[in-house]
Structure formats: C-alpha cells, structure tokens
Amino acid sequence: MLIEALTLQLGYNATLVAIGAALLGVAAGATGTFLFLGKRALVSDAVSHATLPGVGLAFIAMVALGGDGRSLPGLLLGSAVSAGAGLLCVSWLTRRTRLTEDAAIGAVLSVFFGAGVVLLTVIQTMTAGRQAGLETFLLGSTAGMLRADALVIAAGGALVLALVIVLRRPMTLVAFDPDYATARGLDTRRIELAMMGLAMAVTVVGLKVVGLILIVALLIIPPVAARFWSDRVGHVVMLAGLMGGVSGYAGAAISATAPALPTGPIIVLVAFALFALSLLAAPGRGVLAALLRHRRFQTRVHLRQGLLALAQGQPIYERLTLRLMRRAGYVRADGVATEKGRAQAGRAALDERRWEMLRGDPRHEAAAARYDGLTPLDRVLTPDQITELDRGLGPEGAA
C-alpha cells in the first residue's frame, strides 16, 4: 500500500495532499535556508506561534458574520495577520528596546501562543464552535482536507517558492554580511522583513498540513541537513528544497496509508531521517567522513614516526605503528626494514632536516607556519627553493 501511495494511486484527494505537501516542503526548505544562514532560525518559531490567535479570531469573526468559521482561506488570512503582528512586535522590540532578539522572540512567542490557547478555549464553549476542530492547526491534519484546501496550500507553496527564487541574491547577501549589503546600497531592513515575510507565508500555508508547532521543523531541518552536503549557497538552497519536498511528499504518502497517524509529525520524522542520513553519510561534513579523515591522519602520524625511527636506527615498540609499517611494506614480519622502508626513511629524515632549516630562516616565515610534521616540503616550496635549502644542508645532509 505504501508503494501505491508513493506512486499516487490512492485516489484524487490523497494525490492532491501529497503534491501540496511536497510543494510546501520545497518552499519551506528553500525559505528556511536564509533564516538558517543568517542565524535567525528562532524567528520562525515566534512567527509560527503567533499565528494561533489569528486562527481563533478569524473563526470568531466568520461565525459572527453568519458563516460556519471553517473556511480555510479565512483562517489562513487571520493567521497571516496575527503572524505579521507578531513579526512586527519582534522587530520593534529588537530595534527600540535593549532586549536581544532571542528575548524578544521568547516574549512574543509565549504571549501570542497563550492568547491563542485562551481563544481556542473560548471557541469550544461557543454553540457554533463546539466541533470547530481548530486544535488540528497545532499539529496539522489532512484527514478532512478538501480539494479546495489542497489547491490553496499547493498554490501558496508555489508562490512562496517563486518569490524565494526572485529574492535569493539580496537575501543571501544580507544573511551573510548585512554591513556589506548596506554599503552596496541595499535596504537591509526591508530585505530582512521580506525574508521574515516569506517564513510567515510558509508558516501560514503549512498550518493545515504540518501545524504551527511543527512547521518550524520543516523550515529548519532541511537547510541544516543540506548544509552537510555543500558549502555553496545555491546548492544548499536547492538541496534544502529537495529534502523539504521529499519530506512533505513521503510523509503525506505514509500518513495516507495509515489514517490514524497524523500527517505533520510523520513529515517531520521523515525530515529528521534525512537529517540523520546527512549527519552520518555526507562526504564533507558527515560523522563517517570525519572518522575516516581522523583514521587517515592517525595512519600518517604512525607511519611518519615509524620512518623517522628507522632512519635513526631505533626499534619500533608501538604495535599499531609496526603493523601499519608492515602493511605498507616498510618492514618485514620480524621488524627489519625492507629496501622500500629504508628509502622512505631516508626521505623522511631528509624532509625533517629541510623543515628544521626552513623554520630557522626568516625569509620563509610564512611557509614555516605550515609545518605540521606531515606535509611534504615539495607542497610548500618550489623545486628551486628546495635546492637552495639542500645547499645549506651540505653534502652529508643532502645525501
């Protein structure tokens, strides 16, 4: 059944939900990249929690106007207004008071979320609101999603993604170096507000699918996972969007196969699985790659120490060093140096003497700073410079 869900064979509504969740994930991942790179990830938390009172007020207003209060566009509009107010509060508190941004975020987050919980409690006492189901906006729910709701979510996600593509260059510049962006003539305050506005839009659009509590994870986890794979901003944005899209699509498909499971948490768990995979297996920054680099470094250290011991005629007592030397063909099983080992030991000793002379020469101060006992000298100096060093060693040292 999971294969059918992944191949969009579980019906029209399930297909719409999966596509809408995928577009939402792509938009959230791409947008969250700029928040993450600009070290403003917590702002998305404040924005998401600030949407709750807007949902409650929108429901009350629609009921007062004679509606049933459950119109998704109306609820999203109310949440957008509330989230915008929360965003402006954070910006005002940060700029006009001595509060740091994290303190302002904490204040806005707690006050707005508390107000939203109070409004939900009031709504449950209303005759028109006893079966409102607004609590699904906390963790997300697609069980009661209609075709129109799915189209609204998909269209909103696509629009946010288009805006991210248009604004990616100024947002990248502001995220990395706002002072330089100001010197270039960019209005950093407006760009930051646009960045926060896109995060707000993703949050509002994703309320029905992921919920206001978990939308933060969809904004932050894909960029964090993508950062393990690349150092280029453009690649990180694309990878974050891809991981967000896969999380939304796979999470919605898995949830469709088990209706008792909530969609939002499943999407977040899929995103976390991609993060765990990136943490472990990314070739540049992953844990396994770091372990392999450390292992290779240890091997180089042991081989260097073993070769220098051979050059000085000293016995090798370290078992690991001896084993690595035998594996490299530098010594025999009884510990006696091979022809290859003696040649490499001579080169290591000569290289060490060259480095010693280089570190005492003020003309090569910059090159001497790169000494770590492992880097071959021919990677630092030109052949002519090495020849000049060898003249200083004398015939005996050069030999």
By the 8 A CB rule, do 209 and 255 touch? no
Residue found under tokens 């016995």: 315
Domain-embedded: residue 280: no
Residues 71 and 37 in one domain: yes
Boundaries of domain holding 319 = 288-398
98 secondary structure, DSSP code: S
Domain-embedded: residue 242: yes
pLDDT at residue 2, rounded to an integer? 64
pLDDT band with cut points at 50, 70 and 90 for residue 141 = low
pLDDT in tens, 84-126: 888 888 888 888 888 888 888 888 888 988 988 888 888 877 7
pLDDT in tens, 371-384: 777 777 777 778 88
Residues 249 and 386 in one domain: no
Which of 210 and 292 is assigned the larger pLDDT? 292
pLDDT in tens, 22-61: 888 898 899 889 888 888 777 777 788 888 888 888 888 8
Residues 310 and 188 in one domain: no
| 140 Rama class: left (phi>0) / alpha (psi -120 to 50) / beta | left
Position 8 pLDDT exceeds 70: no
Query: From CA 47, how far away is CA 59, in angstroms rounded?
Result: 19
pLDDT in tens, 316-353: 888 888 899 999 899 888 778 889 988 988 888 888 88
Domain-embedded: residue 275: no
Residue 304 parent element (H or E): helix 287-311
Taking alpha carbons only, the member of 229, 188, 240 closest to residue 33 is 240
Report the CATH number at residue 78: 1.10.3470.10
Q: pTM (2 decimals)?
A: 0.78
pLDDT band with cut points at 50, 70 and 90 for residue 399 = very low
Q: What are the residues whose beta carbons fall under 8 Å from the beta carbon of 334, sequence distance 6 or more? A: none
Domain-embedded: residue 273: no
Residues 257 and 306 in one domain: no
